Structure 1
């Protein structure tokens, strides 16, 4: 078998919170970079981006078979983010946008891009995944030795998650 190259994850992920996207099946570079969009990539902890997807099984038993069959059922996407939380610290004034923007009840779209250097701008035809979400209540995590102050913000998916959709140029 031939060697299959891989793409490192470190430094090749970008996650932006966007307040509005007109059509999640056809997002634009203009929308994901518009005023109000917040790049949370550097606020997320190393393990702080946690999208999940479960899929139910529809039982499909047959009278003639000794085997139980199944079909793909409903999908249940989920998302939780863990971010640094600079509340009440010397960094609170200028480095706490994630917890100040993604407050309980805030509704928006998390746009995830993988496989491209973080510092590269969004570009036409790059594939992104979009998670329409409403923020739950921030939960400050217990302090740990040799760690930073962090908070988890659960997200509630309110519309269909779109994966691997190409960015259009926009107006």
Structure 2
């Protein structure tokens, strides 16, 4: 008998990095310089800690039963990938290029690019060669300025939808330039 694999329990709190990257040549081998390129933005410290992740649903199809059979079987159908909407903190009165305005400026309305997510490593560290990331081709929606609530703890933010436009590359290694 094969011994069970004891997978480590890696804590998720403060260990998800999210980036918006304008261009990646090969999503199965993202280059560290592409991830760090100008025009992108590291969202990790500009989004709430309860930011949702990607989802995927594969439909199950039941094949027709033949006249001579008493059982039916399933096959996998198409898969639908979905990206979360993002709530991003920002400072509406910040000057252009200021920390509080960078996400607003980097995430152009209706732009195409890549959502890059690294899991299992401190979100305040930069992505490095050898890190494993998810690379998801996406199109952003239109940014809408808002706030996180109506009580005294509310802060200014904007929401932006994201749509997955092609098959993602899951858990791929970042390579050197």
Offset at residue 97 of structure 1 (A): 1.8
Preserved contact between residue 50 and residue 81 of structure 1 (Cα < 8 Å): no
Q: What SS does the corresponding residue of 1:50 show, helix, strand or coil? A: coil
Return the alpha-carbon distance in structure 1 between the equivalents of residues 162 and 132 of structure 2.
22
Structure 1: 5+ residue stretches without partners: none
**TM-score in terms of structure 1 length:** 0.84
Is 1:105 aligned with 2:94? no
Is 1:159 aligned with 2:166? yes
Match of residue 22 from structure 1: 25
Offset at residue 99 of structure 1 (A): 2.3
Offset at residue 148 of structure 1 (A): 1.6
Q: Report how many aligned residue pairs link the two structures.
A: 168
Structure 2: 5+ residue stretches without partners: none
Question: Which one has a larger percent strand, Structure 1 or Structure 2?
Answer: 1
**Compared with structure 1, are the counterparts of its residues 31 and 118 closer, same or farther at alpha carbon in structure 2 (3 Å cutoff)?**
same
**Compared with structure 1, are the counterparts of its residues 92 and 53 closer, same or farther at alpha carbon in structure 2 (3 Å cutoff)?**
farther
Matches within 5 A, 1:14-163: 14-63=17-66, 64-79=68-83, 80-87=85-92, 89=93, 91=94, 93=96, 94=98, 95-141=100-146, 143-145=149-151, 146-163=153-170
**TM-score in terms of structure 2 length:** 0.82
Offset at residue 4 of structure 1 (A): 5.6
